[in-house]
Structure 1
Amino acid sequence: MDEKSINQRKETYTKRIVTDTILLITGSICILFLSIVTDLAHIFTGTTCPLDEWTMGEILITITLVMMASLMFAYRRYYDTRDAIKEFNSINAIKEEFIANLRHELKTPLVPIRGYSEILYDGSLGEINQKQKEALKKMINSSEKLERLIDSLIFISVAKSGDVEYTFTTLNINDIATGAIVDIADQLNQRKQEVDVDIRPRLSYLEGDRKYLKEALIQILENASKFSPNGQNIQLITHEGYKSLHIKVIDKGIGIPEEELENIFERFYQVDGSKTRRYGGNGLGLHIAKTIVEAHKGDIWIESEPELGTTVHIRLPTPDHGIKK
C-alpha cells in the first residue's frame, strides 16, 4: 500500500470516528432531554409522561441501541486508524532508508568519475592537448550537474515530509551571493555573462541557513542565466523592505507569459516544453527556491513579460524581526 492510499484511509477513518462521536453526543443529549421532559411532566402535571409510555420506552431503547452500535463502530475504527498509522510510519521509515541508500548509491560512482576527470584536466597524470582538455571539462561539468540533480530530487523528497534540518545564524547576504555566483561561474563563463551585484552594506544581514539560502540563489541565478541571451548580464539587487530584506534577481531573457506565472513554482513545471528542451532544465529550480524561502518565513514571487525579461523577488525577515531560533 502506498503513502497516498494510507493517507486516504486515515482521512476516511477519522471522518467516520468524528461522525460516530457526533452520533453518541446527539444520542446522549436526546436521552437527557427526554428524561428531563419526563421528570418535569411528572413534577408539574402529576402524569408519568406527556407521551404514551410505550412510545417513550421504544424511543429510549432505539436511541440506546444506536449509541451502542456507534460506540462499537467507533472502537473498531479507532483500531483501524491505529493500524493505518503504523503502516504509514513503517512506509516512512522504509522511504527514508531508501532515500539514504539511493543517495549513497548514486553518488558513489560519481566520486571517481569527477575525481579522475579533474586530475586528468589538471595534467597530473600527463600532458593533454586542448581538445582533450575541453572534453574533460565537459565531463566535469556534466558530473556536477548530475550531482546537483540527485541532490535536488532528494531535497524535494525530504522537504515534502518536513524532515529538512535548517541551521539559522546571522548571515551576510553578500557572502551568500558571492558563493552562489562562484558555484555557477562555469555556466556564466560559457554564456559570457556576469552578475552585477548591488548590495548595500547596511542591508546585507539576515537570519537563515547558509547552505540552503545559497542553494536557493543558485537555482534562481541558474534560471536567469539559462534563459538570458549570451553576453547579457544579470542583476542582483537588495532593497530595504518592511522589517525585511528584499532581494531582486533581474534578467533580460525570454520572459514568462502572465497565464503561466501562477504555476511557475510547481514541481517539474515547465512553461513551454519545446523551449525548455531547447534551454534544458527539469522544472525543479524555482520549486526548490520557494521551499527554502518559505522555510525561512519569507516570500518569493515573479514579475515577467515575454521577450522583456523576468524579475524574481525574495523577501526575507531581518534579524531584529525574523525567525527566532
Structure 2
Amino acid sequence: MDERSINLRKEKYSKRIVTDTILLVTGIIGIIFLSLVMNLSDIFPNIPFPLEDWTMGQILITITIIMVASLIFAYRRYHDTKDAIKEFNSINAIKEEFIANLRHELKTPLVPIRGYSEILYDGSLGEINQKQKEALKKMIDSSEKLERRIDSLIFISVAKSGDIEYTYTTLNINDIATGAVADIADQLNQREQEVAIDIRPNLPYIEGDRKYLNEALIQILENASKFSSNGQNIQLIIHEGYKSLHIKVIDKGIGIPEEELENIFARFYQIDGSKTRRYGGNGLGLHIAKTIVEAHKGDIWIESEPKIGTTVHVRLPTPDHGIKIQKKYR
C-alpha cells in the first residue's frame, strides 16, 4: 500500500465519520419530531406505538445511549485509521532512510569498478584477447545497469523530499527521442529488438529539462523492451496534439491486466511480485516517468490488454511561441 492509498483511505474514513454524525443528528431530530410533535396514533390507528407512553426523560436517555454508541464507534474507526497511517509513515521513514544510506554505500565502490573495467576494455593497460574483451564488456554493461538502479533510488529519495531542481530550456523532441533510443541500444541489441521511430514533421518545440525528459522516455522504453519477447519490435510515435506533443510507446508484449492499471505508477510496484518472477527491475521505472512528466505539467497514462500489448501515452504542453521542428526522423 502506497502513500496515495493511505491518504485515500483516510479521506474515505473521514467522510464516513461525518456521514455517521449527520445521520445520527438527523435521526435524533426525527425521533423528537415524531414523538413530541406528531400524533402517531392518528396516522397508524391500528398499530400501537410504545413511544406514545414514553416520558421525555426516557426519550432523552435513549437518544443519549444511541449518541454515545455512535460516537464510540466513530472514535474507534478514526483511531484505527490514525494508527494505520502512523504505522505506514513509520515504515516509509525507515525505507527512505535505508535508500539514502544505500545509495552512498553502493555508488562509491561502483565508480572504480566501472572505471578500471573501461580502461582494461580500451587496452590502455595492455592487450587483451577477444574472450577477455567480451567478459569486460559484460562487466561494463552490468555496472551501467547497476548504476542506473542506484540512480533510480537516488531520484526517488530526492523527489520524495521535493528537492529536485529542473532546468528548463527550449527543446527539440527529436533529440530527446533519438537520444533515449540510443541510450538503451545495448538492451535492444541483447534482445534483438528495434524501435521504429515515427516523429511527425513540423512539430513545435517544448520547454523542459533535457536530462530528466530523456530519463523519463528511457524508463518507458526500457519497460516496453523488458516486457516484450526477444525479436519483438517497439514503436515510438510522436505527433502534435492540442497545445501539446503526444508521445506514444507501443509494444506487443505481455500486457497489463485491467485491475493492475490503477497501481502501475506506484513506487516499487511489480505486476509479478513473486520471488520467482520472470522479469527483473525494481518497480520504479514508470513511477519515475510519471514524476518527471507531471513536473513538466504533462500527463501520462496507459492502455493495455493482456497478451496483446501496451501503449504508454505521454502528453507534454507546448509553449506559445509556436516554433516548429523542421527535420523529420523515421
- TM-score computed with the length of structure 2 as normaliser: 0.65
Aligned 1:1-325 pairs, distance under 5 A: 99=100, 103-203=103-203, 205-274=205-274, 277-320=277-320
Q: State whether residues 302 and 310 of structure 2, in contact with CA within 8 Å, keep that contact through their aligned partners in structure 1.
A: yes
CA distance in structure 1 between the partners assigned to 2:278 and 2:137 by the alignment: 22
* Alignment deviations for residues 12-69 of structure 1 (CA, whole Å, 9 cap, x no partner): xxxxxxxxxxxxxxxxxxxxxxxxxxxxxxxxxxxxxxxxxxxxxxxxxxxxxxxxxx
- Hey, what's the Cα distance between the residues in 1 that align with 2:127 and 2:157? 43
User: 1-side partners of 2:276 and 2:154: how far apart?
Assistant: 22
What is the alpha-carbon distance in structure 2 between the residues aligned to residue 290 and residue 227 of structure 1? 19
Structure 2: how far apart are the matches of 1:129 and 1:253? 38
**SS of residue in 2 equivalent to 1:157:** helix
User: What residue identity is the alignment partner of 1:200?
Assistant: R
The whole-number CA distance in structure 2 between the counterparts of 1:259 and 1:159 is 27
Conserved 8 A contact 2:121-2:136: yes
Between the aligned partners of 2:104 and 2:124, the Cα distance in structure 1 is 28
Q: Structure 1 regions of 5+ residues with no counterpart?
A: 5-91
Residue 27 of structure 2 corresponds to which residue in structure 1? none
Moved more, 172-181 or 284-293: 172-181
Counterpart CA distance in 2 for 1:234 and 1:201 is 20
Q: Is the 8 A contact 2:244 2:315 kept in 1?
A: yes
Give the counterpart letter for 1:296 in structure 2. H
| Alpha-carbon separation, structure 2, partners of 1:321 and 1:271 | 42
- The residue that corresponds to 1:71 in the other structure is none
What CA distance in whole angstroms lies between the structure 1 residues aligned with 2:260 and 2:103? 33
Bigger relative contact order (CA 8 A; separation at least 6) = 2
CA offsets 1:213-271 (integer angstroms, 9 cap, x no match):
00000000000111111111111101221111100000111111111011000000011
Structure 2: any 5+ residue segments left out of the alignment? 4-92, 323-330
Q: Identify the range of structure 1 (225-234 vs 281-290) with the bigger mean alpha-carbon deviation.
A: 225-234
Residue aligned with 1:142, SS: helix
Distance across 2 between alignment mates of 1:250 and 1:125? 44
Contact 1:188/1:194 (8 A) holds in 2: yes
Task: Tell me whether 312-321 or 262-271 shows the greater mean CA deviation.
Answer: 312-321
Alignment partners' CA distance in 1, 2:220 and 2:276:
15
Aligned to 1:301, the other structure's residue is in SS state strand
| Residue aligning to 2:47 | none
Q: Is the 8 A contact 1:255 1:308 kept in 2?
A: yes
- 1:180 is matched by which residue type in structure 2? A
Cα distance between partner residues in 1 of 2:217 and 2:228: 16
In the alignment, which residue of structure 2 is the partner of 1:46? none
Q: Distance in 1 between matches of 2:199 and 2:236?
A: 8
Alignment check: 8 A CA contact 1:227 1:253 kept: yes
Partners of 1:275 and 1:229 in 2: how far apart?
Answer: 21
Is 1:196–1:233's contact at 8 Å kept on the other side of the alignment? yes
- Secondary structure of the 2:278 match is helix
Closer, same or farther: CA 311–144 of 1 in aligned 2, 3 Å: same
CA spacing shift, 1:242–1:211, aligned 2, 3 Å: same
Q: 1:257–1:102: structure 2 CA closer, same or farther, 3 Å change rule?
A: closer
Runs of 4+ that moved beyond 4 A: 101-105
Instruction: Assess, with a 3 A threshold, how the Cα gap between structure 1 residues 251 and 159 changes in structure 2: closer, same or farther.
Output: same
Aligned length: 232
Offset at 1:171?
0.4
**Further displaced range: 208-217 or 233-242:** 233-242
Output the TM-score relative to the length of structure 1: 0.66
- Of all paired residues, the percent bearing the same amino acid is 89
